[in-house]
Structure 1
Amino acid sequence: MFEIDDVQKVRSLPIELWPVADRAAWQAARQPRERLRRGGAASHLKAITFADLGRRYGYFLDFLVRSGTLALEAPPAAQVTPANVEGFLTELRSRVGSVTQHGTIYKLRRAAKLLDPTCDLDWLMEIETDLALVMQPRSKADQLVLAERLVEAGLTLVEAAIVSSGMSETAKARQVRNGLMIAILALHPIRLKNFASLEIDRNFIETDGAWWIALKASETKEKRPDEREVDAMILPALRVYLERHRPVLLRSETNALWISSNRGEALSYGGMEAAIAEATRSTVGIGLGAHMFRTAAASSAAIHVGDNPHLGSALLHHRDRRITNKHYNFASSLSSSEKLGNLIRKGLD
Structure 2
Amino acid sequence: MTRTVRILPLEEWPAADQHMWRRATQTGGLFDDIGPLAHLAGDTLGMIRTGYAKWLTWLADVLPGAISELPDRRLTIVRYLEFIEANAHLSPKSQHLYASSTLRVLAACYPTVDWGSFRKIEFHLKQEADDYVSHRKDGRILSGQFVLAKSLELEAAAETIASPLKKALQQRNGTLLAFLSLIPLRRRTLTSLQLGESILFEDGDIHIVTNPELTKTKTYWNTVVPEVLVPSLQRYVSETRPWLMARGGAEHDRLWVTKDGMPLTGTATGTLIRNLTQDLFGVVISPHLFRDIAATTLAHISPEAVGHIRPLLGHNGHLTAEKYYNHATALEVGRTHASLIDSLKKDT
Instruction: State the TM-score, normalized to the length of structure 2.
Output: 0.56
Counterpart CA distance in 1 for 2:275 and 2:244 is 23
- Structure 2's unaligned 5+ residue stretches are 316-321, 327-332, 334-339
Bigger radius of gyration: 2
Question: How does 1:1-349 map onto structure 2 within 5 Å?
Answer: 21-32=16-27, 34-35=29-30, 37-43=32-38, 45-46=39-40, 48=41, 50-58=42-50, 60-61=52-53, 69=61, 77=71, 83=79, 86=82, 90-91=86-87, 93-96=88-91, 98-114=92-108, 117=111, 122=116, 124-135=118-129, 136-138=131-133, 142-151=139-148, 156=154, 182-190=177-185, 192=186, 195=189, 198-200=192-194, 204-207=198-201, 212-216=207-211, 220=215, 225-230=220-225, 231-232=229-230, 233-237=232-236, 240=240, 244=244, 267=265, 279-288=276-285, 290=287, 292-300=289-297, 309=305, 312-313=308-309, 315-316=312-313
Instruction: State the TM-score, normalized to the length of structure 1.
Output: 0.56
Aligned length: 299
Write the deviation string for residues 224-263 of structure 1: whole angstroms up to 9, x where unpaired. Answer: 6421234322344466467637997x9xx997767999xx
| Corresponding letter in the other structure for 1:244 | L
Counterpart CA distance in 1 for 2:155 and 2:179 is 13
Counterpart CA distance in 2 for 1:75 and 1:181 is 51
| Corresponding letter in the other structure for 1:41 | P
Write the deviation string for residues 191-250 of structure 1: whole angstroms up to 9, x where unpaired. Answer: x276357342686334369754213567656676421234322344466467637997x9
Counterpart CA distance in 2 for 1:274 and 1:34 is 40
Counterpart CA distance in 2 for 1:163 and 1:108 is 54
Aligned-pair identity (%)? 21
Assess, with a 3 A threshold, how the Cα gap between structure 1 residues 84 and 298 changes in structure 2: closer, same or farther.
Answer: closer
2:319 is matched with: none
How far the C-alpha of 1:128 sits from its partner, in A, is 1.6
How far the C-alpha of 1:188 sits from its partner, in A, is 0.5
How far the C-alpha of 1:38 sits from its partner, in A, is 3.8
Write the deviation string for residues 313-332 of structure 1: whole angstroms up to 9, x where unpaired. Answer: 453457689xx9xxxxxx9x
Counterpart CA distance in 1 for 2:113 and 2:104 is 11
Write the deviation string for residues 274-303 of structure 1: whole angstroms up to 9, x where unpaired. Answer: 765565445423444555423432454577
Counterpart CA distance in 2 for 1:255 and 1:272 is 17
Assess, with a 3 A threshold, how the Cα gap between structure 1 residues 196 and 51 changes in structure 2: closer, same or farther.
Answer: same
Counterpart CA distance in 2 for 1:68 and 1:164 is 60
Contact 2:84 / 2:95 at 8 angstroms: preserved in 1?
no
- Structure 1's unaligned 5+ residue stretches are 1-8, 325-330, 343-349
Q: CA RMSD in A?
A: 5.8
